[in-house]
């Protein structure tokens, strides 16, 4: 069993930021990541542009140069890889934490390497920075698990000259629709709301609405999807049943944190919000020695915490650990 002072679960931007903050104070945390660094960003659409400017995405004091004020996905991947390398963080990638059990002295962490053996660690402190992007919000309808249904959108090319139904009404749905239309897909958008939410980036809506007005994209508001079959998406609108023919379905319905993982460690989760119970000043959860970092602290509201504010959690955690003493 390997003994560690601090283990950080997750090597996204906020996990990396926490690791750097700790290293700057003389600690040597171990980061354990089930994929590779900033995997959530890797899963973004290839054309993705961030909402935030590059300076607001910087961590560890490392400058983030970008071609434009708001960087693109590939620029962020390069930046965070370089930060991880230059900061000399110890990162165990492709290793998934399966269990965390506490005794009087340590947190015992059991992991499984991809195509490798299980490992056991003992740590004094645990920082959970697992994000939420791995867990899509399911609609809970028949046919949602069919092979032509996707909860992630990466590239538009596979959908050339295909009928695609996009479900959702937030940024990911609008972004996907614009990209699909550029690739020559025939797109129908189904959204249960009567209009798009205010969270949608205002600069992309004019293009979307123009496509709808000109009949290039079909838009159905107040549409409650009820079933997906191999050839159609069925929905209810104004009390009437309808359906749209489709080759592929993109269910862009958002994502949520893994509540069960937190709860198995004893961390409380607010029922209504999905927020882990924690002190916002120190980021320590209701379990002494377990801290929360990054977007997972927001619970179900993924629009509350982003990289630009979650990156500061590491300093709060580091200050709290220093104040109490690592062995305290």
What contacts 295, CB < 8 A, 6 or more positions away? 14, 131, 132, 257, 302, 305, 306, 307, 310
Beta strands per DSSP E along the chain = 2-9, 30-32, 90-92, 95-102, 107-113, 118-128, 149-150, 163-167, 186-190, 217-220, 224-228, 232-237, 240-245, 248-251, 290-292
What's the pTM value of the predicted model, to 2 decimals? 0.89
List, as one string, the DSSP characters of 207-250. HHHHHHHTTSEEEESS-EEEEE-SSEEEEEETTEEEEEE-SEEE
The token pair at 53 is 């400017």
- Does 39 have pLDDT greater than 70? yes
pLDDT tens-digit readout, 78-98:
999 999 999 999 999 999 999
pLDDT of residue 327: 45
**Do the domains 2-135+255-324 and 149-251 sit in the same CATH topology, yes or no?**
yes
Mean pLDDT of 55-59: 95
pLDDT of residue 200: 82
**Residue 320 vs residue 134, higher pLDDT:** 320
Domain segments of the chain as ranges: 2-135+255-324, 149-251
Nearest-5° Cα angle at 312, 308 to 316: 160
DSSP 3: E
What is the CATH T-level fold of the domain 149-251, as seen in this structure?
FAD/NAD(P)-binding domain (3.50.50)
Mean pLDDT of 217-230: 97
**Hey, which CATH number is domain 2-135+255-324, 3.30.430.20, 3.50.50.60, 3.40.50.300, 3.40.190.290?**
3.50.50.60
- Does 152 have pLDDT greater than 90? yes
**Residue 45 vs residue 244, higher pLDDT:** 244
Q: Within a 10 A sphere around the Cβ of 140, how many other Cβ atoms?
A: 6
Grouping H, G, I as helix, E, B as strand and the rest as coil, residue 125 is: strand
pLDDT of residue 326: 54
- Does 302 have pLDDT greater than 80? no
Cβ atoms of residues 225 and 193 within 8 Å? no
């Amino acid at each position: 069993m390997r003994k560690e002072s601090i283990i950080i679960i997750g090597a996204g931007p906020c996990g990396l930021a926490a690791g750097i903050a700790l290293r700057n104070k003389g600690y040597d945390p171990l980061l354990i990541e089930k994929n590779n660094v900033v995997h959530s960003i890797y899963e973004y659409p290839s054309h993705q542009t961030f909402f935030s400017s590059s300076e607001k995405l910087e961590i560890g004091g490392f400058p983030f140069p970008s071609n434009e004020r708001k960087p693109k996905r590939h620029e962020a991947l390069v930046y965070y890889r370089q930060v991880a390398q230059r900061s000399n963080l110890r990162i165990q990638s492709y290793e998934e934490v399966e269990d965390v059990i506490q005794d009087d002295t340590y947190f015992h962490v059991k992991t499984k390497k991809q195509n490798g053996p299980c490992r056991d660690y003992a740590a004094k402190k645990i920082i959970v920075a697992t994000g939420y992007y791995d867990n899509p919000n399911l609609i809970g309808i028949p046919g949602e698990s069919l092979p032509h249904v996707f909860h992630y959108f990466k590239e538009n090319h596979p959908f050339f000259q295909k009928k695609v139904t996009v479900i959702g009404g937030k940024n990911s749905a609008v972004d996907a629709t614009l990209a699909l239309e550029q690739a020559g897909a025939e797109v129908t958008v189904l959204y249960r709301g009567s209009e798009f939410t205010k969270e949608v980036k205002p600069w992309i809506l004019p293009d979307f609405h123009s496509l709808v007005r000109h009949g290039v994209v079909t838009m159905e508001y107040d549409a409650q999807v009820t079933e997906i079959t191999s050839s159609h998406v069925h929905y209810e609108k104004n009390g009437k049943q309808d359906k749209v023919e489709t080759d592929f379905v993109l269910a862009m319905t958002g994502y949520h944190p893994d509540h069960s993982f937190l709860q198995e460690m004893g961390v409380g989760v607010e029922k209504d919000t999905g927020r882990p119970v924690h002190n916002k000043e120190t980021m320590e959860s209701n379990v002494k020695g377990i801290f929360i970092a990054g977007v997972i602290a927001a619970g179900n509201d993924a629009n509350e915490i982003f990289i630009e504010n979650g990156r500061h959690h590491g300093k709060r955690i580091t200050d709290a650990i220093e104040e109490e003493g690592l062995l305290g």
